[in-house]
């Protein structure tokens, strides 16, 4: 059990650090009300999740520890629903209703396409 928690923790830490670097890097270059940094990491994370799930479904990767490390740990730490909802609340509170609607719809639809694309890459 401790080994499993350690693997998830290491994966989550790595995912969180990479999310911070990518999100802040994008936000530095794109100064708009639309939260491009969180949007990008959620779409990239969805693609990676599809790729990882496909590899496990094809039994290319057999070790369950890798699934916990990559999916629960890394992808869980890399993507962020809490930031997504907090950014939408901030958009709504500042009166940017159309931007919030576009953010919600595009995040969900494009992330669904990304997970499908990641899954399809190994099929």
Cβ–Cβ contacts within 10 Å for residue 51, how many?
19
CA atoms of 48 and 18, how far apart (whole Å): 13
Question: Running DSSP on this structure, what letter comes out for residue 122?
Answer: T
Is 79 annotated as a binding-site member?
yes
Is 76 annotated as a binding-site member?
yes
User: Which residue, 42, 14, 63, 16, is CA-closest to 115?
Assistant: 42
- Specify binding-site residues for Na(+): 76, 79
- Specify binding-site residues: 76, 79
């Amino acid at each position: 059990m401790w080994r499993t928690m350690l693997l998830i923790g290491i994966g989550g830490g790595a995912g969180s650090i990479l999310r911070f670097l990518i999100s802040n890097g994008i936000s530095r270059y794109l100064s708009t009300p639309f939260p491009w940094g969180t949007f990008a990491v959620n779409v990239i994370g969805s693609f990676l999740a599809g790729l990882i799930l496909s590899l496990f479904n094809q039994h290319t990767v057999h070790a369950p520890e890798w699934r916990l490390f990559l999916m629960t740990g890394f992808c869980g730490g890399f993507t962020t629903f809490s930031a997504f909802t907090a950014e939408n609340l901030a958009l709504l509170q500042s009166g940017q209703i159309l931007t919030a609607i576009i953010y919600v719809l595009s995040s969900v639809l494009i992330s669904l396409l990304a997970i499908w694309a990641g899954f399809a890459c190994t099929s």
